[in-house]
Amino acid sequence: MAEASKVLQIKELDKSFGGVHAINNLTFDVYEGEILGLIGPNGSGKSTCVNLITGVYVQDKGEILFEGEISLKKQPIEARAKMGLGRTFQTPRPFLDMTVWESVYTIALLYNKTMKQAAAQADQIIEMIGFSNIANTVCHKLPIEKRKWLDMARTLAINPKIMMLDECLAGLNPTEMDSSIDFVRKLNSQGITIVFIEHVMAAVSKLCTRVVVLNEGSLLSQGDPNVVMQEEEVIKAYLGEDYVNAYVKG
Ligand SMILES: Nc1ncnc2c1ncn2[C@@H]1O[C@H](COP(=O)(O)OP(=O)(O)OP(=O)(O)O)[C@@H](O)[C@H]1O
Ligand SMILES: [Mg+2]
């Protein structure tokens, strides 16, 4: 089987905020068609990494290449979105006064040639996520779970090649989590590469074929989630040295 191509190459990336070295010489690849887990303890740099890839922040050093050769460094946020770099936010940001349909349509308008095409795309996305019956509900009335799905729906309106999902399961109950996991799988089966940021390890091992682990802005480990999550250094990063000494080393 031919090796999958690298859709994103993160090379020696660095980003500081004042005295906080949020991303430190970080290098990893994202392969086309995979569901990559981007994991690590709180504050390890996962969201900053997504913000650098999507252009919310500009790196101090290093390079991000898209589809082999396109350097993202000088590309503004809108250009990166047009290339197909989609993301959701750790805290969903729907347009609260709009209806569900309007919220998706507004994004679709930016990525379609005509209003008619944008409306058709909004209809199709809303049907796909099973929101047809609440298409006219005002967003501020939606519970958290539905806001998260709506955030994914709005990202679909940019026709993403990659979707970076920043803790899309946080705050959900187990049933809601399972349906979200199924939905992420469905997106992936439609050809969208997924970068899945999550603290719930059961979800990560269910969904991801590979994980990249960050710690204090650096790459700590990468590989098969079931192998990586057993590594002493990874357990130590999450749970501390005392836990490893007491429970892992015995
Ligand atoms: N805009 C900012 N200004 C200053 N510091 C920031 C900013 N964004 C992130 N940081 C800092 O950078 C580090 C990495 O933060 P980041 O949000 O990327 O971590 P994370 O892995 O997403 O954490 P979590 O799992 O809690 O969401 C933290 O120390 C954070 O406080
Ligand atoms: Mg985060």
What is the rounded average pLDDT of the residues 46-56?
A: 96
Local confidence band at 1 (pLDDT 50, 70, 90 cut-offs): very low
What is the rounded average pLDDT of the residues 223-233?
A: 92
How many Å lie between the centroid of ligand 2 and the Cα of residue 89? 9
Residue nearest ligand 1's atom 18 by CA: 45
Mutating to test ligand 1, I would choose from 20, 59, 167 the residue with most ligand atoms within 8 A of its C-beta, which is 20
Residue nearest ligand 1's atom 25 by CA: 42
Cβ-contact 213, 39 below 8 angstroms:
yes
Beta partners for 148? none
Cβ-contact 38, 45 below 8 angstroms:
no
pLDDT of residue 94: 64
pLDDT at 246 over 80: no
pLDDT of residue 248: 61
Task: Provide the residue ranges of all domains of the chain, joining segments of one domain with +.
Answer: 6-91+160-248
Cβ-contact 168, 155 below 8 angstroms:
no
Task: Please count the residues of the chain.
Answer: 250
What is the rounded average pLDDT of the residues 67-93?
A: 89
Single pTM value for the model: 0.92
pLDDT at 2 over 60: no
Which residues form the pocket of ligand 1, taking CB atoms under 6 Å from any ligand atom? 17, 20, 22, 40, 42-48, 90
pLDDT in tens, 22-32: 999 999 999 99
Angle (nearest 5°) at CA 178 between 235 and 134: 135
Residue nearest ligand 1's atom 17 by CA: 47
What is the rounded average pLDDT of the residues 85-109?
A: 87
Q: CA-based Rg of the chain, rounded to a whole angstrom?
A: 19
pLDDT in tens, 196-217: 999 888 899 999 999 999 999 9
Supply 102's token pair: 């309007």
pLDDT over 70, % of the chain: 94
pLDDT at 69 over 90: no
Residues 6+ apart with CB under 8 A from 197: 37, 38, 39, 46, 47, 50, 164, 165, 166, 167
What is the rounded average pLDDT of the residues 103-124?
A: 95
DSSP assignment of 165-177 equals EESTTTT--HHHH
pLDDT at 111 over 70: yes
Residue among 188, 201, 208, 195 nearest 87 (CA): 195
What dotted CATH number matches 6-91+160-248?
3.40.50.300
Strand locations in 4-111, DSSP E? Answer: 6-17, 20-31, 35-39, 61-66, 70-71, 85-87
Region for residue 99 given its phi and psi (left: phi exceeds 0; alpha: psi -120 to 50; beta: otherwise): beta
Better-predicted residue by pLDDT, 187 or 94 = 187
DSSP state of 141: G
| Spatial distance between the Cα atoms of 56 and 35, rounded to a whole number of angstroms | 23
Local confidence band at 49 (pLDDT 50, 70, 90 cut-offs): very high
pLDDT of residue 47: 96
pLDDT of residue 39: 94
What is the rounded average pLDDT of the residues 164-192?
A: 92
